[in-house]
Amino acid sequence: MRFSSAIKPIAQFLVILLFTLSAGAVSAANKFGVIEAQSFSGKMASNKPIDVGIEVSGIKLESIYFSDNMEAMIILWNRTPATARPEVGVALFDKSGKLLGTGYQSNSIRRTTVRAGKQMNYTLHFDKFVNDYSKVASFQLIFSVVVLRH
Q: Splitting the chain (150 residues) into consecutive groups of 10 residues, what average pLDDT does each group show?
A: 54 52 47 84 95 94 94 93 89 95 69 84 90 93 80
pLDDT at 124: 92
pLDDT at 113: 83
pLDDT at 43: 96
Residue (of 7, 130, 114) closest to 59 by Cα position: 114
C-alpha distance from residue 51 to each of 65, 117, 130 (Å):
9, 20, 23
At a CB cut-off of 8 Å and minimum separation 6, what does 35 contact? 56, 57, 144, 145, 146, 147
Domain edges within the chain:
7-148
The span from the CA of 76 to the CA of 118, in Å, is 9
Total-model pTM? 0.75
Topology given in CATH for the domain delimited by 7-148 = 2.60.210
pLDDT at 5: 57
The pair phi, psi for residue 18, each rounded to 5°, is: -65, -40
SS3 27: helix
Residue type, 150: H
**pLDDT tens digits, 92-123:** 999 999 999 999 875 544 557 888 999 988 88
C-alpha distance from residue 128 to each of 19, 65, 102, 106, 124 (Å):
15, 18, 9, 12, 11
Q: Which helix (H) or strand (E) holds 18?
A: helix 7-22
